[in-house]
């Protein structure tokens, strides 16, 4: 197999797999929609690069070992970055949930202070009566 075809196939397969992983993560709400769009566009770009560009002269400049090393490195880098983005999305959603909980607790605290103030006023009125 010629090295150029290997690189083309790698880019296309990587783009398709990245797009599929992105869709599944979005469906399971493991990634934020804004991040998902970026990864979807990156996946489409990878497929287009693999389809359009010609890597025929690559064998003149690189050995098979170097190409395999680079493809494995690129794959590991992309999926590591994707996992980091998933963690960021998860932390963002947890942060939003905590903000909602704090808001509810603040409202509950305000209501309790108001009720306490009313009770103290009622108690003060009852003590002032003979």
Distance CA 88, CA 93 (A): 9
Q: Model confidence over 25-62: pLDDT tens digits?
A: 999 988 988 899 999 999 999 999 999 988 777 778 88
86 located within any domain: yes
Give me the domain span that covers residue 64.
Answer: 3-91
54 located within any domain: yes
121 located within any domain: no
Contacts 24+ apart (CB under 8 A), 69-78: 71/7, 71/10, 74/14, 75/14, 78/14, 78/18
101 located within any domain: no
15 located within any domain: yes
65 located within any domain: yes
pTM assigned to the model: 0.75
Q: If pLDDT is split at 50, 70 and 90, which confidence band does 4 have?
A: confident
Q: Which two tokens stand for residue 42?
A: 């990156």
Q: How many structural domains does the chain have? A: 1
Distance CA 60, CA 95 (A): 52
């Amino acid at each position: 197999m010629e090295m150029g075809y290997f690189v083309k196939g790698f880019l296309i397969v990587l783009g398709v797999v990245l797009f599929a992983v992105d869709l599944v993560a979005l469906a399971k709400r493991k990634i934020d929609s804004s991040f998902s769009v970026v990864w979807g566009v990156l996946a489409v770009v990878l497929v287009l690069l693999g389809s359009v560009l010609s890597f025929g002269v690559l064998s003149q400049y690189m050995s098979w070992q170097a190409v395999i090393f680079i493809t494995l490195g690129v794959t590991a880098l992309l999926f590591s970055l994707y996992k980091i983005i998933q963690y960021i999305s998860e932390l963002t959603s947890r942060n939003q949930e905590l903000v909602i909980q704090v808001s509810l607790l603040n409202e509950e605290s305000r209501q309790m202070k108001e009720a306490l103030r009313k009770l103290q006023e009622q108690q003060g009125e009852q003590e002032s009566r003979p």
